[in-house]
Structure 1
Amino acid sequence: MTDPEYARFFKYFDEEEVAKTVEPVLGKTRRHFVILATLLGCGGKEEFEVRLPQALDASVTPTQVREIVYQGTAYLGMGRVRGFVDIMNRVFTSRGVKLPLPDTTEQKDVERVVKGEAAQVEIFGPGMKGFSKSGPEKTVAIRRWLSANCFGDYYVRSGLTLQERELVTFCYLAAQGDTTAQMAAHAAGNLKMGNNEEILIAACLQFAPLLGYPRTLNALAVVEKAAHPAK
């Protein structure tokens, strides 16, 4: 950062106030998951390149980083993720990480649908059974792609647990904005997977220095409704 005054007061807020509030809840590794996924979601390439070495220093593994970046494609699209893949590999190379990392994509096409839909059922409940073939015929392709591609190509990969994947998905959604319906569904999915209200609030608080207050407050409101639907 080229402005020392700005760097000084931002660093104080980020490291002394935010980190010391959220890290006791999230833990160091999961806090960095949230940071990386949030920067992907908002398109923060420059800050991602700064934060990625910090994540690796905090024992986030290259495989975990790769999975966070890859999974972002399902929620952000290649148009926004390609540049992050290049940054990731550039940082890995500078730190002596042998590339490419081991390939974990082995399932056949039919397995993508079956395994992806099984992940949807585990996260969202039995109402997701048969999702890939449900609904109007004219839009059945998008539901099949959600099962086969979003969940079958990304969620079922090794490297991150389903619980961790749901948390980073919530971060992608909160960071890009205009995703209230999807945030609500994935807030509920997070709660079902064991990311309780305290964890989700801590993730939202970590958004503040990265996304600013409007999107942080929007995400907190979604978490409140998901955790207390009767209110």
Structure 2
Amino acid sequence: TDPDFQDILSRFIFGEVFYQGNLDDKQRELITLVVLAANQTLPQLKAHVGAALNVGLTPVEIKEAVYQCAPYIGFPKTLNAINEVNEVFKSKNIGLPIESQKQTVEDNRFEKGLATQVEIFGDVIKKMQESALANQKHMQEYLSAFCFGDFYTREGLDLKTRELLTLCIISTLGGCESQVKSHVIGNKNVGNDKETLITAITHCLPYMGFPRTLNALACVNEMIPENKIGCYGSSDESRIG
């Protein structure tokens, strides 16, 4: 019913954006899945689960990408997304539940999560733990045990992929520029270069719009400046999450 709009959409996403930069089809579909989950655009998410399978992503990789959203968009929205994934899997006779990728138990999830944080962000994490106010220390502990222990340590996706997806998720949410800046540095630390970050954020553009895309690009440019006199990055321990 809207051929003009569909023509613009198809040309921009699949004729321009999809061919910009250095990501492969699997990376692009993983990014699309998490952005659609963050946006709660569930009909489109359901369609892209099928597309993700078509380009060769495994059920485990798809599930892990959606699980990675939970610390940033919350459990209810993540469960909505999981439900859409499950519907597609059922229609394709993919057995549920998918094999577990869990790598922690209650006794070590904080320790392993903290180690992963340090691997991504450096020793600043330990300083944050030590300097946290008594009535807010639990938040730092939750970040280590829940966000990084329960999710980042899981198998199915490597650390570089999880950190790249996290950058896309929080860029999509908007209003998270402090965290975006920290995860720009986290991505750099795990081996995702500036070109990869620009490409990933560009791929998010058709799904989250120009304002949030430009805000995310500004964060990338601030934290990984071009080689120009007068440009520099900055850091703030409170942003890491």
User: Which structure 2 residue ranges, 5 or more long, are not aligned?
Assistant: 226-230, 234-241
Q: Give the Cα separation in 2 of the matches to 1:204 and 1:88.
A: 23
2:238 is matched with none
TM-superposition CA deviations, 1:55-110 (whole Å, max 9, x none): 11111111111111111111110122111010000011111211111123352223
In terms of fraction of residues, the more helix-rich structure is 1
**Number of residues paired by the alignment?**
228
Match of 2:163 among 153, 160, 166: 166
Q: What value does the CA root-mean-square deviation take over the aligned residues? A: 1.5
Q: Which aligned segments of 4 or more residues in structure 1 are displaced greater than 6 angstroms?
A: none
Residue 28 of structure 1, CA deviation: 1.4
Alignment partner of 1:86 is 2:88:
no
Three-state SS of the structure 1 residue aligned to 2:207 is helix
Identical aligned residues as a percent: 34
1:136 deviation in Å? Answer: 1.1
Structure 2 counterpart of 1:230, from 193, 217, 232: 232
Using the TM superposition, give the Cα deviation of residue 137 of structure 1 relative to its aligned residue in structure 2, in angstroms: 1.1
Is 2:123 aligned against 1:121?
A: no
TM-score under structure 1 length normalisation: 0.94
Residue matched to 1:20: 19
Aligned-partner residue type, residue 17 of structure 1? E
Aligned to 1:180: 177
State the partner residue of 1:76: 73
Gaps in structure 1 of 5+ consecutive residues: none
* Residues 134 and 143, structure 1, Cα contact 8 Å, conserved in 2: no
Aligned partners of 2:223 and 2:212: how far apart in 1? 17
Give me the whole-angstrom Cα distance separating, in 1, the residues matched to 2:212 and 2:5: 22
Q: C-alpha separation between the residues in 1 aligned to 2:84 and 2:135?
A: 39
Q: Secondary structure at the match of 1:109?
A: coil
How do 1:17-56 and structure 2 match up within 5 A?
Answer: 17-22=16-21, 25-56=22-53
Once the two structures are superposed, the pairs formed by residues 2-13 of structure 1 within 5 Å of their partners are 3-13=2-12
> 1:40 corresponds to which letter in structure 2?
A
Residue 198 (structure 2) aligned to one of 191, 197, 201: 201
Equivalent residues of 1:39, 1:210 under 8 A apart: yes
For 2:101, what is the secondary structure of its paired residue? coil
Distance 2:189 2:175 in 1: 23
**In 1, are the aligned partners of 2:103 and 2:154 still within 8 Å (CA)?**
no
Distance apart, 1:134 and its partner CA? 4.5
Q: How far does residue 130 in structure 1 lie from its aligned partner after superposition?
A: 6.5
Q: Matches of 2:209 and 2:127 in 1, distance apart?
A: 39
Amino acid at match of 1:165: R
Tell me which amino acid in the other structure corresponds to 1:177.
G
In 1, are the aligned partners of 2:103 and 2:155 still within 8 Å (CA)?
no
Moved more, 209-218 or 3-12: 3-12
- The answer (yes or no) to whether the contact 2:118–2:126 under 8 Å persists in 1 is yes
8 Å Cα contact 1:56/1:62 also seen in 2: yes
Change in CA separation of 1:127 and 1:35 when aligned onto 2, cut-off 3 Å: same
Paired with 1:14 and 1:106, the residues of 2 have a C-alpha distance of 37
Offset, 1:129: 2.8
